[in-house]
């Protein structure tokens, strides 16, 4: 629990064997649920993730959903866990952290704070230049446009 919220992290991953362990290990200890969605990786992503998955974590395998589909599948798993436990969902927040470790886990607090006033918060990579990593310029532009349209 953090700032009055129970937190579920959804982590989509595809061929992230080099980064998935550190991405999972960077998830803060106050997170209540972690769902890693391996979307058909052909490398050792699944095995690496499974080897470091915390007790409160779950790994799901899918194939060819893409990052958006993997995120949606992760949300479905979180919701089904809450439903099966008869949990009140009013104090739960779901956060997406990519399996490549590009998100600073400390930024989760920045996403939780506005949830007391609005039902949805979206972060972006443009607030921190290091968050852009090696993203190609055409994808940077597309991501920027999409961010503007959804903000």
pLDDT number for residue 28: 95
Position 133 scores a pLDDT of: 57
- pLDDT value for 39: 98
Please report the DSSP string for the chain in residue order: -BTTBEEEEEEEESS-TTTHHHHHHTS-TT--EEEEEEES-SSSHHHHHHHH--TTEEEEEESS-HHHHHHHHHHHHHHHHHHHTT--GGGEEEEE--TT--S-GGGHHHHHGGGGT-S-----GGGSGGGGTT--HHHHHHHHHHHHHH-
For the domain covering 6-120, report its CATH number: 3.90.550.10
Q: What is the pLDDT of residue 146?
A: 66
The tens place of each residue's pLDDT in the chain, 151 residues long, gives 888 889 999 999 999 999 999 999 999 999 999 999 999 999 999 999 999 999 999 999 999 999 999 999 999 999 998 888 777 777 899 999 999 998 889 889 888 988 888 888 877 666 655 555 555 677 667 766 766 666 5
Domain locations in the chain? 6-120
């Amino acid at each position: 629990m953090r700032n009055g919220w129970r937190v579920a992290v959804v982590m989509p991953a595809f061929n992230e064997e080099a980064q998935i362990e550190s991405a999972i290990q960077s998830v803060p200890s106050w997170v209540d649920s972690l769902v890693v969605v391996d979307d058909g990786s052909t490398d050792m992503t699944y095995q690496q993730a499974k080897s470091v998955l915390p007790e409160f974590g779950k790994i799901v395998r899918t194939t060819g959903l893409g990052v958006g589909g993997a995120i949606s599948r992760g949300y479905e798993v979180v919701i089904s866990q809450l439903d099966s436990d008869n949990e009140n969902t009013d104090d739960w927040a779901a956060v997406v952290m990519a399996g490549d470790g590009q998100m600073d886990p400390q930024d989760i607090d920045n996403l939780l704070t506005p949830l007391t006033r609005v039902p949805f918060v979206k972060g972006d990579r443009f607030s921190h230049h290091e968050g852009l990593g090696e993203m190609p310029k055409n994808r940077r532009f597309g991501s920027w446009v999409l961010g503007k349209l959804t903000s």
